[in-house]
Amino acid sequence: MNNFSETQKISDLKEALKDVRISDETTEKTHIGHIMSEVYEAMLEKGYNPVNQIIGYIMSGDPTYITSYKDARKKMARVSQDELLEEIVNYYINNNL
């Protein structure tokens, strides 16, 4: 049996992550969604590609994929990679299927 990294292409994760951006202020954000929004904005402000950086973080667990600007790394550290991936998958399923 193949493990996740052997069976899942990074491009598939990029596709799923691109729809996670929660910017509608009228939408009630989850705790994780709020953190994701703040981290996403901090990475944009610093000139990073947030999708690529978040994928790198999820795949490797290496916190240096997340900028320390505006305490984004500390905020992201409050959420486990499993919780983050679960939130992303739930969001994608609820909004695309």
Q: Show me where the domains of the chain are located.
A: 8-21+29-96
Q: How many alpha carbons lie under 13 Å from residue 48 in its C-beta half-sphere? A: 20
pTM of this structure: 0.66
In this prediction, residue 31 carries a pLDDT of 87
- Give the residue-averaged pLDDT of 49-57: 94
pLDDT tens, position by position, 9-39? 666 666 666 666 544 443 446 788 899 999 9
In this prediction, residue 91 carries a pLDDT of 87
In this prediction, residue 69 carries a pLDDT of 97
- Give the residue-averaged pLDDT of 47-68: 95
DSSP element (H, E) containing 71: none
In this prediction, residue 29 carries a pLDDT of 60
